[in-house]
Structure 1
């Protein structure tokens, strides 16, 4: 397995006064972060932390992913216990594994190696209730971190919505500054679960926005004029009220797939976070008709064909590099 030479470690800040000496403007604070999971998003977390001057040790079940990370200056670990053994005190560990059982499995392996001073961040799309449970069950301080931005975060940084103890959040500010777009790209939303709760609603809003763009472009596509939809999207993106990154991705989709979206199928995958959003709205008796309808359209896409859903299918590739289902 490829490895790299460890660079000399500076003394870790152990108190708030020490941290003020290491975190201000000037040389980046050299924290040591453990990252579990080197998929698309996990690798971006590790790379951006390293680029900001932090030391990163990572574990992934893929030897290839570890070897590639080592070439980029990330220290590979042979196992989760091995990763924990390389970290200082307190340990700072970022999980970027699929939501559900993989998170619990990683926590089970970490459990014997954690203390109350350590911090564990769950950066995946976990349900907020699972994050509340894990925070209560985990010895370490637990931060649930909703993460938005997709693969574009490699260059721009992510938007991070964080829940959990305020002291843990403050300690990890240097890492959050590095992984996010900067200090304005992250904030503590509240107690355990709040970060993933905000991200859940974010995804519901995302569904509705994609549906709105899809319906608008479907009308233009089926309307009375022979329109260049790429030109429409480009024009709207320059000064129009509805300009946005999603609209930029519409422009990209028409440019790369053609005005009829080529062989992009009417199948929009995903739906878990939108379902969670609608269920929560029903429990709280809050009307979310646009999100509900967008979720219904996504489910209905598995049965017949519609231009708006074909565009939504392609947009998911644009912002998240999700697989494009094709006819």
Structure 2
């Protein structure tokens, strides 16, 4: 007899945590993993939650264990594994059953699957917060038909993180791949936020000679102010940790080669298609790619000498620089989401997205409350122009300029912070230098141009100058 409210396929780290979260919130859940031993071990280790978990050893058993109309969450790797799983489920499900891809899918794949005429209902869903979030409350970004979201909204809002005002951090973003798109941009912002914090860490360590414990104290202090956020909080914790093997600060024995799963790269690529400038995110992706080239970096240091020199900057100046960089980064991310909303007809709710990101996810931050309020006042306005954030930027930009200029002079690599500053300077310049570029384009390609005086003369007299 069917007994589960919902099913889940894929009991890896995230899938297992999410299944326990669902069971803990009072929803009986049927689970299946390709490796039967994993399913059995998961059920055996569920403790007090075991009565709410139905382990199954085949897809047919899983389907039979769920009350119709069925809902099944996929927690499998993105790409072909999702398509393979959908194909395997097709002969077992009814037309009104619902499959939810909750992995880190490319939103283009989610769009394709929504348009493919699957023999069952389909939702894409971004889930952020890592293992801890999946277990105790993630941020959830749904994408697909509103009626399909409504069928599982009770489960998703129950398992989601709660903001300080008690609001669940789970919502439908829009049609088709909207949820996975928003999650992708979230991850791009995550890349950028982490990179800027790392750049500030480098200035403290190499420019100011602070040890890991002192840096931890600074991060902990910043976490009580405007920069209060999950990433600053864990930065304080990781810089305070001691390596049990050597007794040294653990961060000092970790190889400086950062991994990535590709979502930040997807954000940078998609931004180009949307003509949405996100230079801070692009710089963060570039920096991760460079970090992987350790042999080349070693050769570069051997040839040109160690880059970082002393750079006496106060922690207060660094804090303000990071505040400015963070605002600029988030402003770029929300502008990209707005561009996608227009391009794909999704009518994305920018203040609603900011509210979903307030808890549970990796980029959760106290600043998102004010961002949600500013976006609610005028979602069409770039975030840097909202009065509250314009005031913060006016106060903090001189510090960001000082950090970038002095850091660069001392040889410190600050790609994300510098990219944010350059974008800001472009955004506050009414007449830039693209007039020369347009003249060049007209010279070699007859692309035309517009005149500032409105005269109808679309080409220059270049033939006379050739």
**Where on the TM-score scale, by shorter chain, does this alignment land: which range?**
0.7 to 0.9
Query: Which range is displaced more, 208-217 or 263-272?
Result: 263-272
The aligned runs of 1:1-327 (5 Å cut-off) are 32-71=5-44, 72=46, 73=50, 74-137=53-116, 138-154=118-134, 156-182=136-162, 184-227=168-211, 228-238=214-224, 240-257=225-242, 259=249, 261-304=251-294
Question: By how many angstroms is 1:107 displaced?
Answer: 0.6
* 2: CA distance, partners of 1:39 / 1:271: 16
Could you say which structure has the higher helix fraction? 2
Q: Which runs of 5+ in 1 are unaligned?
A: 1-5, 10-30, 307-318, 320-327
Deviating above 6 A after TM superposition, structure 1's stretches of 4 or more consecutive aligned residues are none
Q: How many residues align?
A: 279
Question: By how many angstroms is 1:46 displaced?
Answer: 0.9
In 2 relative to 1, CA 201–95 (structure 1 residues): closer, same or farther, beyond 3 Å? same
CA RMSD of aligned residues (A): 2.0
Q: Which runs of 5+ in 2 are unaligned?
A: 243-247, 299-361, 363-466
TM-score of the aligned structures, taking structure 2 as reference length: 0.57
TM-score of the aligned structures, taking structure 1 as reference length: 0.80
Structure of higher CA gyration radius: 2
SS at structure 2 position matched to 1:262: helix
* 2: CA distance, partners of 1:69 / 1:225: 47
* 1: CA distance, partners of 2:35 / 2:241: 32
Question: By how many angstroms is 1:55 displaced?
Answer: 1.1
SS at structure 2 position matched to 1:290: helix
